[in-house]
Structure 1
Amino acid sequence: MEFTRPRGTRDFLFDEMEKRKEVEKVLRNTFENYAYREIKTPLFEDLKLFTTKSGEEIVDQLYNFKDKSDREITLRPEITAPVARLYLNELQKVAKPIKLYYFGSCFRYERPQKGRFRQFWQFGCELIGAKSPEGEGEVIALCNDSLNNLNLHSADIHINHLGIIRGLFKHFDISQETQRELMVVIDKGDKELLRNSLKGENPIIENDELNGILLKLIDIVGDKSVLSKIDELLSKYDETQDSLNEFKKLIDDLESFNVKNYTLNLGVARGLDYYTGIVFEVYIPELGAQKQVCGGGSYSLIKIFGGEEISSTGFAFGFDRLMNAIEELNDNNEIKSSVDIYVAPFSNETRSKSYEIAQTLRSEGIKTEIDLSRKKFKKLLNHANNLNVKYVVLVGEDELKNNQVTIKDMESGEQELVKLDEIIDYIKRNIYEY
C-alpha cells in the first residue's frame, strides 16, 4: 500500500526548514523590535466565525466538518478573524494600543497551483486601538523593515485609502450591495474587466459621471506627486475630503518613518467590506503572476463580531510567497550549518568520554553532534564535512591519558591539542569570536 501526502500540501526537508527558520527568526526579531508580542490561536474555530466575516459563500473554500458533538467546525483559512475573536474573549480590558503578531498555518480548499497551496503559512500582526494615520504609518514601516531585513529590496508597497472611493459612493447614494459588487471587481486588478463592468451593456452602476471618475481614479498610480491629480479629480466631492486628508497625512508620516519604496495606487481595494481606511499590498515584480506577498490595512472587524468600534490595522505576509521571493532574488542561498561541533570518538574505549564532552558542550548552548554509528575515522571526517561543521573534536585514547583532545579546523585542516577543561573557552573564542 502506497501512502502519499494530501494534494495541496508539502513536506519540508532539512535544508528548506533551515531556510524557513532563518526567515522566521528575522521576522520575529523585526516585529519584536517594534514592541509586538506573539500570540497563538487554535488551528480550528467555529465555522460561524468566518461566515460572519466573509459571508456564506466562503464555505466552498474551507475545510469544514462537524465534530463529535455535531458542532460546525473549520480549519482556519486566515488568522485575522481568530485574532478579533481572541480580542473579544481576552483583551478588551487591556490598555490600548495592543500590538500582537502571529505565525501559523492556514487551510483553504482551492485548486493547487504555483505559489498556492491548500496548507499555507501566514506571518502577520495586528495593531488594535492606535490613532490613525500614525498607527497605520508605523504598521507600514514595520512591513517595510521586514522586507529590507530579508533583503527583498525590489518589493514595492502599494497604498490606497478606501475612504476616498467610499466617499464617492456616499455622494452618489450607491447601495451597499452595489458597492460590494464593484469593490470585488476593482480588487481583481483587471482594468479591462472594470471598464466593461462600468461601461458595458449591463453596467454595475448606471451613472456616467461616477463611472467616469472611478475609471480615472483607479488609473492613478505613482509617487506622492499624483496627489495633485487626485485633488483635481475630487475637488467638488466633499464626502471624499476627510479621507483624502488622512491619506496625505499618512504619506507625510511615511517620510518620518523613513519609508521610501511605496507607490500610491488608487486601484488597491482588498475587496472586503470590513476594510475602512488605508489598505496596502506588497508586490515583488520578479514573481510574475504570484507577485503579491502581503496584504493589509485598517478595518472594523471587531464591531462586526459584536464588539466596540475600535480602530485596528494589520497585515499578513504570505510566508510561502516570501520564501519563493528569497529563493528567486537572493544569490547567496547557502545554508548555515545546523551543527557547531562534531565530536568524533576514535574507538569504543573513548565513546563514554566523548558522550560526556558532547553533553558539556550542549549544556553551554553549543550545537553538538556526535558519532552514534561507530564510523571509521575516514567516514567520521566525511560525515563532518557533510554536516558543514567548522571544527571536529577528535577523542583519542592517547590524548585522553593527558586530559586532552584534538580539535581539527575542517576548513584549513589544522589541528590543535586542547585540554579538556579548556574546550568550551577554545570553541567560544574561535567559533563565536567571544
Structure 2
Amino acid sequence: MELQKPRGTRDFLFEEMRKRKYVEGTLRRIFELYGYQEIKTPLFEDLSLFTLKSGEGITEQIYHFQDKGGRDLALRPELTAPVARLYLNQLQKAPKPLKMYYFGSCFRYERPQAGRFRQFWQMGCELIGGKSPDAEGEVIALAAHCLEELGLEDFEIHIGNLGIIRGILNQAEVSSPEQTQIMAIIDKGEVEELMKFLEDMTMENSYKNMLRELIGLQGHREVLEQVEEMVMNNSQAIGALQELEGLLEVLDSVGFSNYIVNLGIARGLDYYSGTVFEIYVHGLGAQKQISGGGTYNLIEIFGGEKVESTGFAFGFDRVMEALHQQGTYLPLDKVVEVFVAPVSPEVKLKSFQIARKLREAGIPTETDLAGKKFKKLLSHANNLKVNYVVLVGARDLEQGQVTVKDMDSGQQELVALEDVVDVLTERTRG
C-alpha cells in the first residue's frame, strides 16, 4: 500500500519552511510593534461555535465529528469565532482596548484548486473595545505595514461599509433571510446573479437599480459624493457613509492613501456589521484575495455585551504565493554556518566539544555524525553551504590548535583552540 497525504493538504520541505518562518516572524514583529499580543486557541471547538453565525458557505465546508462522549465538534474553519469565544470565557473584565494576534491552521472541506486547500493557515489580529473609525484605521494601516515590510508590491486595499447596502435593504423592507442571500451573492461578485435574484422580489425597481449601481462603484474619495446623492434619504445608509468618511480621514492622516473605496465588498461571514476591507494581489488570478476583515458584532451574538471589534486575517498561504510570484527577495539566514570536521576517528569526541561551544555562542554548527572519510566531509560541508569548516586533526590538537578554512576564499589558517569560538563569532557576526 502506498501512503499518500490527504487530498487538499501539503508537505513543506526545508527551503519552503525557512521562507514561511521568515514571513511569519516578520508579521509577528509588525503586529507586536502595534501592541498586539499572541494568543492560541484549540484546533477544534464545539460545532455550534461555527454554525451559529459563520455564513452558509463556511457551514457547508466544516469538518465536523463526534467525540467518544457524543459531543459535536468541528475543526476550526476560521479564527475569529474562537477569539470571540476566548474573550467571552476569560477576558470580558480585562481593560480595553484588547489587542491580540494569532497564527494557526484552519480546515475547510472544499474542492482543492490553485490557491485553495483543505488545510490552510491564517495570521491575523483582533482589536476589541477600540472606538471606530480610529480602531479600523489602525487595523488597516497595520495590514498595509505588514505587506510593505515584506516587500510585496502592487497590492490593493479595497474598503467598504456594509451599513450602506443594509440601509437600502432595510428601507426596502427586505427580510433578514433574503438579505443574507443578497449579501452572499454580492460577496461572490456575481452581478447578473444578483439582478436575477432581485427580479423575483417585490422590491421597487428604484432600490434594485440603486443596489446595482452601488456595488459597481469603485474609486477614491470622490466616490463618496456619488454615494451621498444616491442614499441622502436613508438615515442608516448616511450614517454608514459618515463612518466610512471618518475611516478614510484616519488613513489619510497617517499617510496611507493608497486605498480603493469599493461598495461591492460584502465578506462571506454573516457577523460583519460595518466597515469591511479586502486586500488583492491581481497576479494571483482567481485567488487574488490575500486578506479580509472588518468590524463585527460576534461577541454580542454569542451572548456577551455589545463591544466594538475590528480584525482581519491574512491568508498566509496566498501571501506566500504572492511573494513567490513576484520573486520577492527574502533575506534568509544560513541554516548552518560552521562545519566541524574530524580528520580521524580518534578526534571525534573533541569535535563534538568544539561544536557544542560554537552552538553555545549562537553559531549554527554541524559536525560529522556518519563517520565519513575526510574528502567526503568537505564535500558534505560544501553541500551544506557553510561559511567555515573547522578541521580537527590529531597533530594540530597536540599543539592546541585547529585549522579554520574559509569556504568562499579557500584560505586556511591555524587558530588556537581556546580562540576558535571568538574568531568564528567575529567572522560570522561581524
Q: Same fold (TM over 0.5)?
A: yes
Counterpart in the other structure of 2:3: 3
Q: For each residue in 1:187-245, what CA deviation from the matched residue of structure 2 results, as whole angstroms up to 9, or x when unmatched?
A: 001223223333x4x2x452111111111111110122222222222223232222111
Give me the TM-score of the superposition, normalised by structure 1.
0.95
SS in 2 for 1:103: strand
Counterpart in the other structure of 1:347: 344
1:420 Cα offset (Å): 2.0
Give the letter aligned to residue 408 of structure 2: E
Give the letter aligned to residue 342 of structure 1: F
Structure-2 separation of matches of 1:51 and 1:231? 36
Query: 1:408 touches 1:414 (CA, 8 Å); kept in 2?
Result: yes
Structure-1 separation of matches of 2:130 and 2:113? 38
1:426 Cα offset (Å): 1.7
Query: 2:22 touches 2:332 (CA, 8 Å); kept in 1?
Result: no
1:342 Cα offset (Å): 1.3
Give the letter aligned to residue 166 of structure 2: R
Q: For each residue in 1:13-64, what CA deviation from the matched residue of structure 2 results, as whole angstroms up to 9, or x when unmatched?
A: 1111111111111111111111111111111111111111226775531211
Give the letter aligned to residue 183 of structure 2: M
Matching of residues 210-249 of structure 1 within 5 Å: 210-249=207-246
Give the letter aligned to residue 388 of structure 2: Y
Structure-1 separation of matches of 2:245 and 2:276? 14
Counterpart in the other structure of 1:406: 403
Counterpart in the other structure of 1:16: 16
1:100 Cα offset (Å): 0.5
Structure-2 separation of matches of 1:59 and 1:214? 27
Q: For each residue in 1:285-333, what CA deviation from the matched residue of structure 2 results, as whole angstroms up to 9, or x when unmatched?
A: 0001110111100000011111110111111111111111111012546
SS in 1 for 2:403: strand
SS in 1 for 2:245: helix
Query: 2:77 touches 2:107 (CA, 8 Å); kept in 1?
Result: yes
State whether structure 2 residue 368 is matched by structure 1 residue 371.
yes
Structure-1 separation of matches of 2:265 and 2:104? 26
1:113 Cα offset (Å): 1.1
Query: 1:178 touches 1:205 (CA, 8 Å); kept in 2?
Result: no
Counterpart in the other structure of 1:174: 174
1:416 Cα offset (Å): 2.5
Deviates more, 1:324-333 or 1:250-259: 324-333
Counterpart in the other structure of 2:299: 302
Give me the TM-score of the superposition, normalised by structure 2.
0.96
Give the letter aligned to residue 244 of structure 1: L
Structure-2 separation of matches of 1:260 and 1:329? 23
Query: 1:394 touches 1:406 (CA, 8 Å); kept in 2?
Result: yes
Structure-1 separation of matches of 2:58 and 2:222? 39
Give the letter aligned to residue 187 of structure 2: D
Structure-2 separation of matches of 1:57 and 1:190? 15
Counterpart in the other structure of 1:109: 109
Give the letter aligned to residue 398 of structure 2: K
CA RMSD of aligned residues (A): 1.6
Query: 1:405 touches 1:420 (CA, 8 Å); kept in 2?
Result: yes
Which runs of 5 or more residues in structure 1 are unaligned?
none
Aligned length: 430
SS in 1 for 2:53: helix
Structure-1 separation of matches of 2:55 and 2:159? 26
Structure-1 separation of matches of 2:152 and 2:294? 21
Matching of residues 248-263 of structure 1 within 5 Å: 248-263=245-260
Query: 2:272 touches 2:294 (CA, 8 Å); kept in 1?
Result: yes
Counterpart in the other structure of 1:207: 204
State whether structure 2 residue 265 is matched by structure 1 residue 268.
yes
Deviates more, 1:407-416 or 1:283-292: 407-416
Deviates more, 1:356-365 or 1:204-213: 204-213
Structure-1 separation of matches of 2:332 and 2:376? 22
Give the letter aligned to residue 246 of structure 1: E
Structure-1 separation of matches of 2:56 and 2:268? 16
Structure-2 separation of matches of 1:205 and 1:263? 33
Counterpart in the other structure of 1:290: 287
SS in 2 for 1:431: helix
Q: For each residue in 1:342-392, what CA deviation from the matched residue of structure 2 results, as whole angstroms up to 9, or x when unmatched?
A: 111111121111100111111122211111112222222221222122112
Structure-1 separation of matches of 2:110 and 2:404? 54
Query: 2:156 touches 2:258 (CA, 8 Å); kept in 1?
Result: yes
SS in 2 for 1:112: coil
SS in 2 for 1:61: coil
Counterpart in the other structure of 1:391: 388
Structure-2 separation of matches of 1:78 and 1:43? 10
Structure-2 separation of matches of 1:262 and 1:271? 21
Which runs of 5 or more residues in structure 2 are unaligned?
none
Q: Call closer, same or farther: CA 1:58–1:25 in 2, change over 3 Å.
A: closer
